[in-house]
Structure 1
Amino acid sequence: ISSNANMLRKGPAEDMSSKLKIMYRTYRIQARSMSGHPEAAQMVRREFQLDLDEIENDNGTVRCEMPELVQHKLDDIFEPVLIPEPKIRAVSPHFDDMHSNTASTINFIISQVASGDISTSIQALTQIDEVLRQEDKAEAMSGHIDQFLIATFMQLRLIYNTHMADEKLEKDEIIKLYSCIIGNMISLFQ
């Protein structure tokens, strides 16, 4: 089959035309020999049979043209991709300056705990630790404990999967983040 395919691609149109006619004649001979067997002739329905008379009487030339291949510029693949550093806005150090609503403020600060930026997460953990250490404000966290624990565990997973592998980060920052998380857990469960 591969030699026939190479012949069809490389050979001139006359060679292909004669090759096709030889193939059709071979098929015609096989079809005639099958006509002696009525059960074989009935197996193949008419809509799936070739019109051999039309094929044999066809004197047209066969054109087999290979399409032009598209040439792509692949030099850009080997250039390094520069990923921009994310810019995250800093968290305000005071709760009351941000919102008048305490619940939305706590939700915002808790969302910052799971931030990809270490300094943002440390600031948020510091603010939550301040709230947890003051007995009069600690009750404001009572409806947000599950959310805070989930954000903290997300940050722990982020530290383990991302920050520990990042050689650009100073290990002191990661240790400080771990320290803040442990301090918050101690304050929460005391």
Structure 2
Amino acid sequence: MSESRALSDVLDRLEAAVDGDEITVQEIIERLGRKSFASVMLIFSLISTSPASAIPGVTAVVAAITFLLAAQIILGRDHLWLPGLITRRRLSTDKLCKGIGWLRRPVHFVERFLKTRLAFLFHRPWFYLPLVLIMALTLLMPFMELVPTSGSIASAVIALFAAGLLTRDGALVVASMLLLLGVPLAIWKFGFS
């Protein structure tokens, strides 16, 4: 997969999986591939960043999926596993397709700047730090549904990290970690101003 199309390819695969009025989390995972930790993390965080995040409970589901994915990456698993409680969850394909359409323009913009760099960040022990920080963020995300847009901000940080992981672009990983530090401030500003 070329870096210049890596993110669009993931959106294309998800769009190709859409059939009928609803799609399960399991069907999305099967379409993206059980070894595609970064693709699955990217798609679900993008869903929670897009207008599809208006679906009640999406932020909490994305948080659970991301937490489990990050934990499995740390443990060195080669196939992802999610509990049936999550994989049986259904999403509206109409809202999902609208979300994919909404994401196309920003994804195309980001792809212009992608390249492999700071590759040492994808090796142990450096790789553990962003994964642990992402896991900590996911523990707060279910509560973020109480503050409008805060779940989308957290999901955008995760999407940036997943995009870096997928394309081996360490600069995106660094950017996601810097933005992660700003999440509490952004939630305070947007949620309580």
Structure number having the greater helix percentage:
2
So what's the TM-score if we normalise by structure 1?
0.31
Report 1 or 2 for greater relative contact order, CA contacts < 8 Å, sequence distance ≥ 6. Answer: 2
Q: Which one has a bigger Cα radius of gyration?
A: 1
